[in-house]
Amino acid sequence: MMKLKFGDANTKLVKLQTALKLKVITFSLPSGFTCPGALDCLSRANRQTGHITDGPNTKFRCFQASAEALYPQLRNMVWANFEAIKAQNGNTAAITKLIQDSLPAKFDVCRVHVGGDFFNGSYFEAWLQVARDNPSKLFYAYTKELRTWVKNLGFIPTNFVLTASRGGKFDSLIDTYNLKNAVVVFSEKEATDKGLEIDHSDEKAAVGTKNFALLLHGVMPAGTPAAKALQAIKAAAKSAAKSLSTI
């Protein structure tokens, strides 16, 4: 029987797992290829070669696309997931069953999409039904596909926590509908200036209710403002670590 593949918590999500004392799993699709709302972070890793292509308006490269570029096994997994879902021909009930039958036996929290997004309404609605069918589990996701979210306002179960990811094509809907949201910042000062706390563990995404910031991370195209900002972030972290070691 065809099954989707889920992953374990990555380095960041291990912090979430520790904080919540709950088992965290992840699910992903091909970054960029399944992200209809992406703009600032649009990047794609070629399915065969892994070569990265950034979008015409990319300000910072999608960290998961960079991971897909590096690891063929990851690329194969996310594309296999995508093909399996597409094979259900947009049938929400069939996609729901596929996801449900593929869920690991033991988990407490599922981050839906470390890479990828809700590429159409049927797929989004399937995840909502999976959450309804598993009321004791927590599902959460970042998304730039805000049109589908807004269309389903009032039908989203309480154990499915969504965060609007700023920097997409449909950002205007965030303020119109007062959607919980996150923004990528290029420095801690930028977060402070915006009056936002930085989420270092995904805890604010998974169980928080307030807007927050995400500090730039991943691999950035050489010579870009994002690359320079990332270099400064790493330098500051290294300096802070060195200072702590001398105390």
Average pLDDT over residues 222-227: 81
Domain range for residue 50?
7-245
Judge whether 32 lies within some domain.
yes
Residue with the two structure tokens 């099954």: 3
| pLDDT-above-70 percentage for the chain | 96
Judge whether 179 lies within some domain.
yes
In the predicted structure, residue 68 carries a pLDDT above the cut 90? yes
pLDDT band at 225 (very low <50, low <70, confident <90, very high): confident
Judge whether 169 lies within some domain.
yes
pLDDT band at 206 (very low <50, low <70, confident <90, very high): very high
Task: Give the model's pLDDT for residue 146.
Answer: 98
pTM recorded for the entire structure: 0.92
In the predicted structure, residue 246 carries a pLDDT above the cut 80? no
In the predicted structure, residue 245 carries a pLDDT above the cut 70? no
**Phi and psi at residue 192, in whole multiples of 5°?**
-60, -45
In the predicted structure, residue 222 carries a pLDDT above the cut 90? no
Please give the full DSSP string across the chain, using - where no structure is assigned: ------EE--HHHHHHHHHHTS-EEEE---TTTT-TTB-TT-EEE-TTT--EEE-TT-SS--HHHHHHHH-HHHHHHHHHHHHHHHTTTT-HHHHHHHHHHHS-SS-SEEEE-SS----SHHHHHHHHHHHHH-TTSEEEEEES-HHHHHHTTT---TTEEEEEESSBTTTHHHHHTT--EEEEESSHHHHHHTT--B-SSSHHHHT--S-EEEE--S---TTSHHHHHHHHHHHHHHHHHHHHHT-
Judge whether 19 lies within some domain.
yes
| pLDDT-above-90 percentage for the chain | 86
In the predicted structure, residue 229 carries a pLDDT above the cut 90? no
| 56-70 core/surface letters (b: 16 or more CB in 10 A; e: else) | eebbbbbbbbbbbbe
Domain tally, the chain: 1
pLDDT band at 243 (very low <50, low <70, confident <90, very high): low
Judge whether 2 lies within some domain.
no
Judge whether 71 lies within some domain.
yes
In the predicted structure, residue 1 carries a pLDDT above the cut 80? no
pLDDT band at 240 (very low <50, low <70, confident <90, very high): low
In the predicted structure, residue 247 carries a pLDDT above the cut 80? no
Task: Give the model's pLDDT for residue 200.
Answer: 94
Judge whether 239 lies within some domain.
yes
Task: Summarize pLDDT for 80-111 with one digit per residue, the tens.
Answer: 999 999 999 999 999 999 999 999 999 999 99
State the chain's maximal CA–CA distance in angstroms: 60
Judge whether 1 lies within some domain.
no
In the predicted structure, residue 160 carries a pLDDT above the cut 80? yes
Phi-psi bin for 25: left (phi > 0), alpha (psi -120 to 50), beta? Answer: beta
Interacting residues of 117 by C-beta distance below 8 A, sequence separation 6+: 29, 34, 35, 36, 37, 38, 143, 144, 145
